[in-house]
């Protein structure tokens, strides 16, 4: 392949790294900065915070977060899989169905164990 085929991707990567750094740096010099005790205080939807922000959470919160991540990652893997079906046909279809079946089994297990129930 010619080197010119990779030039647009290289330029996109370079600009993708330079522009955010440049914007943050320029913004730091242009914006006004007047810190105060009130501005640096935690804001909780108009209610004064009570207690320590590093309080303990129940395990249930983390279980729901992990389940969300599992299904979010599933969606990320399904997009390229759907595009590959046109090229690889039935093999990729069967692979995708096995993947979805395993995730549905994990979902059913979590549901059966009560990980999705908020009635603790």
C-alpha 98/C-alpha 92 separation (Å) is 10
State which residues of the chain have pLDDT below 70: 1-3, 44, 46, 48-49, 53, 119-120
- Identify the pLDDT of residue 54: 73
Domain extent listing, the chain = 3-112
* CATH code, residues 3-112: 1.20.58
C-alpha 57/C-alpha 104 separation (Å) is 27
Whole-structure pTM value: 0.46
């Amino acid at each position: 392949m010619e080197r010119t085929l990779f030039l647009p991707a290289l330029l996109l990567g370079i600009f993708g790294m330079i522009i955010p750094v440049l914007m943050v740096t320029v913004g730091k010099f242009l914006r006004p900065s007047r810190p105060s005790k009130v501005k640096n205080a935690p804001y909780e939807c108009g209610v004064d915070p009570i207690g320590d922000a590093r309080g303990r959470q129940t395990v249930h919160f983390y279980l729901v977060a992990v389940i969300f991540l599992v299904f979010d990652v599933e969606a990320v893997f399904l997009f390229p899989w759907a595009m590959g079906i046109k090229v690889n046909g039935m093999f990729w279809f069967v692979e995708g169905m096995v993947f979805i079946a395993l995730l549905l089994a994990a979902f059913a297990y979590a549901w059966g164990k009560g990980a999705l129930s908020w009635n603790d």
